[in-house]
Structure 1
Amino acid sequence: MTLLRVVARPMIASMFVVGGASAIKNPGLRAKKAQPVADLVKKMVPETPLDAVMLVRLNGAVHVGAGLALATGRMPRLSAAVLAATMPATTMTGHRFWEETDPAARTNQTVHFLKNVTITGGLLMSTLDPDPHKKFIGRRAKDKVVQASDTVQSALQR
């Protein structure tokens, strides 16, 4: 594993591990914000025992598990994809800046919303991270072009 991966993956994962653990331990305020989502799930699947607290804790557990997997390099592309998949719902539920009337609170929620969008972009890029034992994708592409050029040149020289 390259030094970049050793440093970058835990940096991205840290927010998920810490935030997920906090959500599991103290779901209170998050559960209040997640109540509309829990109500929607309950309406779609009435027999589900899921409530807002359980939903927040489940999301927290996914964040901790996938965050630890990303941080340690275990299935890094899959764990980055799982985390990226959770972010739209987490962001739309937790940072509803458009509903804030106080300008300072609106600015704060906008910053957090955009931070989550940015992190989601980083996670999506991480899903493309090649096997550490392979050359960088740009180098592999260049090698393929050179190989194709050599093949075409040798075919034309016949």
Structure 2
Amino acid sequence: MSLTRLLARPMLAAVFVADGVDALRHPDAHAARFRKVAPLLEKVGVPPVLTSDATMLTRVGGGVTTVAGLMLATGRKPRTAALVLALVNVPLTVVNNPVWEARGKEQRKELTRGLLRGVGLGGGLVLAAADRNGKPSITWRMSNYKDHRAQIRQAKASVKDRYTA
């Protein structure tokens, strides 16, 4: 593992681990923010069953975020952990930064900054999820394998033709 990955993964994961632990220990503040956007989520089509118990949903989200963040930080299944965090990051960013509810120019600026910060973290997570640690993609490996097998078949046929003629 490169030094960059060794340092960058825990740095990226730290935000999510801290937020996840806070959601587990103090779910009320997180649930209150969620309750503010619950009507909007229901308008969009999220079933009310998913939004009925905000505290439990907050704790589950906090647990998932904490575990995935620790996995990313320690390098255990980092691509899967980064993908999970990226998927969880989208609703968290929207819930924590409701720009449409801003009252005043300063509050709108602050919420927009938070929204952009969340989008930036999401971009970093997508990059971490796509990082193959220097290894080529499965598509390239399969193509290379097929090419290699074709070359071997051609070489065998050439040798066979030379000695049978």
Per the shorter chain, which TM-score range? 0.7 to 0.9
Q: Deviations over 1:42-90 (max 9, x none)?
A: x8364x7951111111111111000000000000000000000011111
Bigger radius of gyration, 1 or 2? 2
Please give the TM-score of this superposition, normalised by the length of structure 1: 0.76
In the aligned structure 2, how far is the partner of 1:57 from the partner of 1:72?
Answer: 22
Whether the aligned pair in 1 keeps the contact of 2:51 and 2:57 (CA below 8 Å) is no
Runs of 4+ in 1 over 4 A off after TM superposition: none
Give the aligned residue type for 2:98.
R
Please give the TM-score of this superposition, normalised by the length of structure 2: 0.73
Q: Deviations over 1:74-128 (max 9, x none)?
A: 0000000000001111111110122111222221111111000000011001111
Whether the aligned pair in 1 keeps the contact of 2:38 and 2:51 (CA below 8 Å) is no
User: For 2:67, which of 65, 68, 71 is the aligned residue?
Assistant: 65
RMSD between aligned alpha carbons? 2.8
| Counterpart residue number, 1:81 | 83
- Structure 1 alignment gaps of length 5 or more: 152-158
Count of residues in correspondence between the two structures? 138
If each structure's helix is expressed as a fraction of its own residues, which one has the higher value?
2
Identity of aligned residues (%): 35
How do 1:86-97 residues align onto structure 2 when only pairs under 5 Å count?
Answer: 86-97=88-99
In the aligned structure 2, how far is the partner of 1:107 from the partner of 1:49?
Answer: 28
